[in-house]
Amino acid sequence: MSSSKDADPTLGYLTRKDTEVKLPRPTRVKNKTPAPIQITAEQILREARERQEAEIRPPKQKITDSTELGEYRLRKRKEFEDLIRRVRWNVSVWIKYAQWEESQKDFTRARSVWERALEVDYKNHTLWLKYAEVEMKNKFINHARNVWDRAVTLLPRVDQLWYKYIHMEEMLGNVAGARQVFERWMKWMPDQQGWLSYIKFELRYNEIERARGIFERFVLCHPRVGAWIRYAKFEMKNGEVPKARNVYERAVEKLADDEEAELLFVAFAEFEERCKEAERARCIYKFALDHIPKGRAEDLYRKFVAFEKQYGDREGIEDAIVGKRRFQYEDEVRKNPLNYDSWFDYIRLEESVGNKERTREVYERAIANVPPAEEKRYWQRYIYLWINYALYEELDAGDMERTRDVYKECLNQIPHQKFSFAKIWLLAAQFEIRQLNLTGARQILGNAIGKAPKDKIFKKYIEIELQLGNIDRCRKLYEKYLEWSPENCYAWSKYAELERSLAETERARAIFELAIAQPALDMPELLWKAYIDFETAECEFERARALYERLLDRTKHLKVWQSYAEFEATAIDESLELSEQEQKEQCLQRARKVFEDALNHFRSSAPDLKEERAMLLEKWLNLEASSGELGDVSLVQSKLPKKLKKRRQVSTEDGSSRIEEFIDYLFPEETHTTNLKIMEAAYKWKKQKLSNE
């Protein structure tokens, strides 16, 4: 039951197992050592050749009379007919049959075989070729002509049939017949080679006018650049320069926008060059460069440069070289319009040439490529296109109205709600100032502060108004500045500096007080320093001291203590009726008190900041040493710490640990404490020992 299921109808209802080919198992080679006598592949092949048996050939048959010949022919025909019945579609069998009949000089039978073969496959052009060759070989011209005629009628797209037919007629001297065959062929609009063969045929018989007429039909049938160039070269070869020029001009009219137009213009220009018409050739090159897309004009540029080097003057050569570079830049900006560096290079090239209209056109094309995203990093290079455009219009072109329009359009283009560029606002304002239009400059800067306030804009606007002496405007601007950025210490300092320069001390002091009262400042240390320097410059030492005390209430930083001590050491009040020596002594006493307060703070509130204490003591020591007779170095030396080199374990970024050395400071009071701790530990150990006993 199972075997009938496994049976496969395609295998004659045998199972797969029954049909498996069982190959003999390969014998295992036990002895794998090399044989003493080695045999090469060459020896094996030679032996095989020597032992080959001779080929069995049938005996040669000699026919002695007509009866044997008849039998031989009958037998061969029967063999061919049987073969044809078996493989009717095999063309080579038909050809052998027909050629055998031809060899027997029975041309009627041979034709019959050829005709029967054509009935089987008339589309096979090899049959037609062999058939016609047989007729021609045996000088049956009319029969051959008949075969060719039928062949080209049935297979008009097979060029070989037409070529053979025409060749036969030409060899027979039947030029009119060959021309007639060509005309029949041309009605089928063959490829270029067919038309060129017809033209060569006419030229062989010196029929120039006929060839010209064929060329006219040729360019209508194949309106391509190559066809027109051949036509023009034909006219040139025959010395017809006006006609050749006319052909080129007609070609340019019809194919100026063709993909291969570059070849046409190059050929036309070279033709004019050969005719010694350099100006015509130059005009053709320039016309071509203006009309052909830059991506397809590489060869044209190269030829133009070579032409100018040969025939042009210095200006022409430079223009040609610029044209070549212009082509390169055009190619770059076509591939990536947002590559602003390429636009800068292109613009620089056009500016060096000096053609204003062309430069403006490139600028306009460049600024049209607005960055796709409204993010400042994408606009940073783009904005310089506008800046360069405006500067070009102002400095090179001298068109002030156009410059103003460029700045205006640029400011409209920037999305000020997301980001802005202070540089553009300032350049636009400075331009208006150069044009003596102060109102316009103020309007621009006012718009800038309203739309996109920035530090640079405020600083520049205040600087302009200060130079003009408008103090009230400066005050208003500082108020706007601080209203926009109340944490800006620079603005507060500059505002107070302005008031001080105007001898408005109270106003300056009030500004400083407002500034230090702000809840958040970007650089408070600079502001406090400016305020203290202001009071010191005004010789208001008590106020300066009060400021230092207020500052120390906020921060106990080392630099504040050092600055306070330095201030006290140099705060000599000339209004007091004391000698200089006494005043210096008082200053030193006050400085010592500051140092003492600082050391007490670090000792009690920040014992870990040992390095800061050491730096403070070093500063104090330097002060005592530089004070001469008034200084007392021993006061500080007793407080100086010892430097100890220690090691500690630190963890690295990868999780492992390493040992590093560091400097530690041991102060005198810490040494005493350390000794007490050692004594306490020893007493405890002794007490424990006694209790154990």
Among 438, 491, 509, 499, residue whose Cα is nearest residue 471: 499
pLDDT digits (tens, 9 = 90+) for 268-296: 888 888 888 888 888 887 787 777 766 66
Lowest average pLDDT, out of 206-210, 215-219, 585-589, goes to 585-589
Q: CA-CA-CA-CA torsion for 422, 428, 430, 434, nearest 10 degrees?
A: 170
Please say whether the beta carbons of 387 and 423 come within 8 A. yes
Lowest average pLDDT, out of 208-217, 503-512, 597-606, goes to 597-606
Greater pLDDT, 412 or 24:
412
Greater pLDDT, 596 or 399:
399
Q: What is the pLDDT of residue 638?
A: 66
Lowest average pLDDT, out of 337-346, 392-401, 420-429, 580-589, goes to 580-589
pLDDT digits (tens, 9 = 90+) for 79-112: 888 888 888 888 898 999 889 888 888 888 889 9
673 half-sphere exposure, CB direction, 13 A CA radius? 5
Please say whether the beta carbons of 231 and 247 come within 8 A. yes
Greater pLDDT, 502 or 309:
502
In CATH terms, 370-485 corresponds, of 3.40.50.300, 1.10.510.10, 1.25.40.10, 1.10.760.10, to: 1.25.40.10
Say if residue 163 is exposed, middle or buried (CB neighbours under 10 Å; 0-12, 13-18, 19+): middle
Q: What is the pLDDT of residue 580?
A: 64
pLDDT(664) > 80 = no
* 3-state SS string for 348-363: HHHHHHCCHHHHHHHH
Place 178 in a pLDDT band, splitting at 50, 70 and 90: very high
Greater pLDDT, 209 or 68:
209
DSSP string, 45-101: HHHHHHTPPPPP-PPP----SHHHHHHHHHHHHHHHHHHHHH-TT-HHHHHHHHHHH
* 3-state SS string for 520-572: CCCCHHHHHHHHHHHHHHCCCHHHHHHHHHHHHHHCCCHHHHHHHHHHHHHCC
Among 632, 616, 601, 627, residue whose Cα is nearest residue 665: 616
Segments in 435-554 forming alpha helices (H): 438-451, 455-468, 471-484, 489-501, 505-516, 524-537, 541-554
Read off φ and ψ for residue 663, nearest 5 degrees.
-95, 125
Q: Give the angle subtended at the CA of 281 by the CAs of 334 and 292, to the nearest 5°.
A: 20
Q: What is the pLDDT of residue 1?
A: 44
Q: Are strands 642-651 and 657-666 parallel, antiparallel or unpaired?
A: antiparallel
Among 483, 494, 414, 491, residue whose Cα is nearest residue 448: 414
Q: Write b or e for each residue in 439-464: b if 16 or more Cβ atoms lie within 10 A of its Cβ, otherwise e.
A: ebbbebbeebbeebbbeebbbbbbeb
Among 321, 330, 333, residue whose Cα is nearest residue 369: 333
pLDDT digits (tens, 9 = 90+) for 621-643: 677 777 766 666 667 666 677 77
Please say whether the beta carbons of 481 and 458 come within 8 A. yes
pLDDT(260) > 50 = yes
Among 157, 140, 91, 81, residue whose Cα is nearest residue 119: 91
pLDDT(398) > 70 = yes
Please say whether the beta carbons of 413 and 421 come within 8 A. no
Can you tell me the distance from the alpha carbon of 590 to that of 544, in angstroms, rounded to the nearest whole number?
Answer: 14
> Region 57-76: what's the mean pLDDT?
82
Can you tell me the distance from the alpha carbon of 177 to that of 451, in angstroms, rounded to the nearest whole number?
Answer: 91
Please say whether the beta carbons of 622 and 591 come within 8 A. no
pLDDT(365) > 80 = yes
Among 603, 643, 639, residue whose Cα is nearest residue 624: 639
Residue at token pair 């009949």: 101
Can you tell me the distance from the alpha carbon of 509 to that of 532, in angstroms, rounded to the nearest whole number?
Answer: 10
pLDDT(673) > 60 = no
pLDDT(358) > 50 = yes
Greater pLDDT, 583 or 45:
45
* Residue 553 CB coordination number (10 Å): 8
Place 154 in a pLDDT band, splitting at 50, 70 and 90: very high
Tokens of 553: 């209430």
Say if residue 286 is exposed, middle or buried (CB neighbours under 10 Å; 0-12, 13-18, 19+): middle
* Residue 67 CB coordination number (10 Å): 9
* Residue 221 CB coordination number (10 Å): 16
CATH assignment, 223-312:
1.25.40.10
**223-312 and 370-485 share one CATH topology?**
yes
> Region 473-487: what's the mean pLDDT?
79
pLDDT(320) > 70 = no
Tokens of 464: 């302009």
The residues with which 14 forms a beta bridge, in sequence order, are 8
Domain ranges of the chain: 223-312, 370-485, 641-692
Q: Pick from 355-359, 381-385, 517-521, 586-590 the range whose average pLDDT is largest.
A: 381-385
> Region 307-316: what's the mean pLDDT?
61
Residue at token pair 């500052």: 551
Q: What is the pLDDT of residue 693?
A: 67
> Region 222-243: what's the mean pLDDT?
90
Tokens of 656: 């492992």
Greater pLDDT, 407 or 677:
407
Segments in 605-667 forming alpha helices (H): 610-626, 633-637
Q: What is the pLDDT of residue 672?
A: 54
Read off φ and ψ for residue 587, nearest 5 degrees.
-60, -45
pLDDT digits (tens, 9 = 90+) for 527-539: 677 777 777 777 6
- As a whole-number percent, the residues of the chain with pLDDT over 70 amount to 83
Can you tell me the distance from the alpha carbon of 366 to that of 352, in angstroms, rounded to the nearest whole number?
Answer: 17
667 half-sphere exposure, CB direction, 13 A CA radius? 17
Q: What is the pLDDT of residue 129?
A: 92
Greater pLDDT, 235 or 2:
235
pLDDT(156) > 90 = yes
pLDDT(323) > 70 = no
Mean pLDDT of the chain: 80
> Region 15-39: what's the mean pLDDT?
76
pLDDT(310) > 70 = no
Place 2 in a pLDDT band, splitting at 50, 70 and 90: very low
